[in-house]
């Protein structure tokens, strides 16, 4: 095979790997997690008194698993709209860190295109994208849209399904649905640690994060501990990694 044919084949393979369809395919392994957690969110939102239309709008506009679980709990507890919005704002601050980590791969895009990528970014799609970046040192815009949109539509469908069937599930805690979100994040964490093959460093960072989160939460109750632990522990991990 000539050099020109090899270059053409390489270019074709690169385009296929970075295509919208490939992004859809790469999202498939996360869909089961989205379905289970989205279903659980829909059930809890329904038991909190929300209608199917309200649940649909919540999943379309908010599109955040942890935030929707929190919103359902606060609505059920009769919290004010202001308290719910402030709490969700702080919970979702982690998306700034996620977007910042991926931003170097999309600097060539316009501000509007970056907003399209970032607006549908979740913890799960970030995990898939950062693994893609680690393997191939780049991320295609079309691939990212395929990944994001597949997860987004799947989440909406799962919420609606949970809302519809939730009317027959009076006590979701009995089936462990309230633990669906933490369980998924634990699974993602374990898979990430195993795939990185840097267990010692990851364990040190995890221990630091737990200690910091607990310490800050004792002084300042709420979600501030999670945010501080994320920033400080990741910084510690980066310093140790560079130092080694």
My answer on whether 185 and 137 are in the same domain is: yes
Question: Do 215 and 95 have their domain in common?
Answer: no
Range of the domain at 191: 20-196
Do 221 and 234 lie in one domain? The reply is yes
* Residue among 16, 15, 32, 25 nearest 147 (CA): 25
Per-residue pLDDT at 146: 94
Q: How many domains does the chain have?
A: 2
> Is 187 found in the same domain as 66?
yes
Asked if the structure places residue 236 within a domain, the reply is yes
In a domain, 13, yes or no: no
Q: Are 183 and 207 in a shared domain?
A: no
- Cα 56 to Cα 38, 59, 117, 127, 243: the distances in Å are 11, 5, 22, 25, 48
- 100 and 179 belong to one structural domain: yes
Tokens of 58: 């919540």
Quick one: pLDDT at residue 168?
75
pLDDT at residue 152 in the model: 95
The per-residue pLDDT for 9 is 42
182/227 same-domain check? no
For residue 2, tell me if it sits in a domain: no
Place of tokens 């996620």: 98
* 192 and 76, same domain (yes or no): yes
Residue 7 lies inside a defined structural domain of this protein = no
Residue 15 placed within a domain? no
Same domain? For 129 and 214 the reply is no
Q: Are residues 87 and 115 in the same domain?
A: yes
- Profile the chain (244 residues) by mean pLDDT over runs of 10 residues: 44 59 89 82 87 93 87 85 86 85 89 90 87 81 94 94 79 66 67 72 87 86 75 84 73
DSSP letter assigned to residue 178 = G
């Amino acid at each position: 095979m000539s050099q020109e044919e090899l270059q053409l084949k390489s270019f074709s393979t690169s385009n296929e790997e970075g295509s919208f369809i490939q992004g859809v395919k790469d999202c498939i392994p996360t869909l089961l997690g989205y379905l289970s957690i989205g279903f659980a969110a829909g059930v809890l939102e329904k038991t909190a008194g929300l209608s199917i239309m309200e649940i649909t709008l919540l999943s379309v506009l908010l599109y955040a698993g942890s935030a929707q679980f929190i919103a359902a709990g606060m609505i059920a507890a009769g919290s004010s709209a202001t308290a719910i919005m402030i709490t969700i704002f702080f919970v979702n601050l982690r998306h700034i860190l996620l977007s910042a980590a991926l931003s170097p791969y999309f600097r060539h895009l316009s501000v509007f295109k970056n907003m399209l990528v970032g607006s549908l970014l979740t913890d799960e799609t970030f995990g898939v994208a950062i693994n893609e970046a680690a393997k191939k040192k780049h991320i295609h815009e079309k691939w990212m849209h395929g990944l994001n949109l597949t997860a987004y539509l799947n989440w909406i469908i799962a919420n609606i399904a949970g809302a519809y069937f939730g009317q027959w599930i009076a006590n979701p805690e009995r089936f462990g649905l309230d633990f669906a979100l933490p369980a998924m994040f634990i699974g993602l964490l374990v898979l990430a640690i195993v795939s990185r093959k840097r267990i010692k460093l990851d364990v040190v960072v995890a221990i630091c994060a737990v200690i910091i989160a607990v310490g800050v939460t004792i002084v300042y109750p709420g979600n501030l501990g999670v945010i501080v632990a994320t920033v400080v522990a990741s910084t510690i991990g980066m310093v140790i990694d560079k130092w080694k």
